Chains A and B, each alone.
Chain A
Amino acid sequence: MKQPAANFDEVRRDISALQLYRNARLEFNARIVEASRDKSPEVVGALRSDSTHQLAEFYFLLSGFGIKSVDEFDQLIERHNDYVASLLSDPDKMQRMGLSKDRLLSAIFDGETRPRLLKFWADDPGALDQSTLARFLVAVMSDETARKTVVACGKAGLLERQNSVFRIVLVRSTGLLERVYGQCLRELRLAIQAES
């Protein structure tokens, strides 16, 4: 079917935008692997996965939204709990997202956990224990995937993993993940703008 010339031009730009989007993801993978201090196939494979990209996006947003103070972090916990509670009252959405009731219940920060997290954040802004990180990512990856991704990023030198009291492992970003994510996203945005 022949398309009108104007429409053909728009479709060409759409395809060009799609190529830029795909290239941005490839570029992210390439830069992260390049920066990795561990070039073993196991770690590199994990760094190229969707879960690493998702984790980078999480840290990029944490930084981009300026969540730094204890109050800001506490408000994030509140928003997260509200979100999980709203999911629990929406069985259709839970099913669409493949989330079980037990899993969501486990993702809530209760009165016992919350003060401890705020203390960690107060002592070291940006530091999260692994289970807390998994809770925040409840809607996008399983806790086991989160754990494996954090371990791989730790080996790569993108995250710092530190044993804390009560056998808790604290995780903090070195800044590289969100920086690379942000760079690739900006380059994509500017390239699409230039195309149009």
Chain B
Amino acid sequence: MSSVNLVSRIGLGLVFAIVATGGIGPTNAETRLVSNSSAQPVSTKTGPAPTKNSGSVRRKRGGPESSPADKVNATPEGQSDLIKVLQPGSGQKSK
């Protein structure tokens, strides 16, 4: 057996050995996909990812943020409350 042939066979053998032990390959990729499935989409922007407030009441910067889930329909309750809030001297509280 020539030396070149021998090196090729050893190289191939090493590749198969790595795949068989799961060092690289579909199994690990699947694992990464599963573990990343609940992660936030990767942002291309620099800077820290936004996090939700927790604990104390604190307003987010930049005003109300819209999201696909942010669907607010006017209810009679909300419409009635708005009148009371706008009315001077009403001191509107949630009832």
Contacts and interface: CB of A to CB of B under 8 A. Distances in A.
Given A79-B91, A141-B74, A105 B53 contact: yes
B66 A144 contact: yes
Interface string B46-57: 000000110001
A113 B60 CA distance: 11
Interface residues on B, range: 20 to 34
Contacts of B94: 83, 86-87, 89-90, 93
Interface stretch (B11-19, B23-31, B33-41, B81-89): B81-89
What's the dominant secondary structure at chain B's contact region?
loop
Given A83-B94, A142-B66, A105 B59 contact: yes
A143 B66 contact: yes
A83 B59 contact: no
Contacts of B72: 97-99, 103, 138-142, 145
Interface in A63-84: 65-67, 72, 75-76, 79-80, 82-83
Contact of A79 (B53, B59, B70, B90): B90
B92 A83 contact: yes
Main secondary structure of the interface of A (DSSP, over half): helix
A122 interface: no
Contact of B73 (A58, A62, A80, A98): A98
Contacts of A102: 52-53, 60, 65
B75 interface: yes
Nearest to B86: A61
A2 interface: no
A76 B85 contact: yes
Contacts of A9: none
A57 B82 CA distance: 10
A79 B64 contact: no
Contacts of A99: 72
B59 A97 contact: no
Given A82-B92, A135-B63, A140 B71 contact: no
Contacts of B78: 97, 139-140
Contacts of B53: 102, 105
A128 to B, nearest CB: 12
B90 A106 contact: no
A132 B64 CA distance: 9
Interface of A: 50-51, 54, 57-58, 61-62, 65-67, 72, 75-76, 79-80, 82-83, 85-90, 93, 96-100, 102-103, 105-108, 110, 113, 131-132, 134-145
Given A97-B72, A97-B75, 13 more contacts: A67-B86, A79-B85, A89-B94, A96-B77, A102-B52, A103-B65, A106-B64, A131-B63, A137-B82, A141-B72, A142-B66, A143-B64, A144-B66
